[in-house]
């Protein structure tokens, strides 16, 4: 294939790799910001002897989603599957703790 043909084909594509990379990096930075704020809130709640189980459940749910997505995209690395399963167990235990503290069971 000639350089001109490759250039024309790339220009006809609807997706822009640079834009996709920027979006990916923006989401990553956004989640890092959210995680830092949630960790700060967890610290503040611990300082005032309040439970932070709900915030931990949210962080674990995000971690599980990321791990499972990485595993489904990169099947060779079983570490992603293991971390996804562990985070899911943490989410279930966190929900059980929350329900117990609310007197549901």
pLDDT digits (tens, 9 = 90+) for 51-97: 999 999 998 999 999 999 999 998 888 999 999 999 999 999 999 99
| pTM (predicted TM-score) | 0.72
Tally the domains of the chain.
Answer: 1
CB 67 within 8 A of CB 81: yes
| Separation between Cα atoms, residue 68 and residue 41, nearest integer Å | 26
| Separation between Cα atoms, residue 73 and residue 81, nearest integer Å | 11
Q: Does residue 9 sit within a domain?
A: no
Q: Does residue 3 sit within a domain?
A: no
Give the range of the structural domain holding residue 65, as residue numbers without chain letter. Answer: 15-101
Nearest to 83 by CA among 56, 95, 57, 65: 65
Q: Does residue 7 sit within a domain?
A: no
DSSP strands (E only) in 10-104: none
CB 59 within 8 A of CB 67: no
Nearest to 89 by CA among 66, 57, 41: 57
pLDDT at residue 6 greater than cutoff 80: no
| Separation between Cα atoms, residue 67 and residue 90, nearest integer Å | 13
């Amino acid at each position: 294939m000639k350089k001109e043909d490759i250039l024309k084909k790339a220009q006809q594509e609807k997706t822009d790799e640079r834009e996709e990379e920027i979006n990916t990096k923006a989401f990553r930075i956004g989640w890092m910001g959210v995680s830092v704020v949630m960790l700060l809130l967890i610290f503040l709640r611990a300082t005032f002897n309040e439970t932070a189980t709900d915030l931990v459940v949210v962080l674990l749910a995000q971690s599980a989603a990321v791990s499972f997505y990485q595993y489904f995209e990169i099947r060779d690395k079983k570490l992603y599957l293991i971390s996804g399963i562990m985070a899911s167990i943490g989410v279930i235990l966190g929900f059980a703790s929350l329900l117990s503290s609310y007197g549901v069971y």
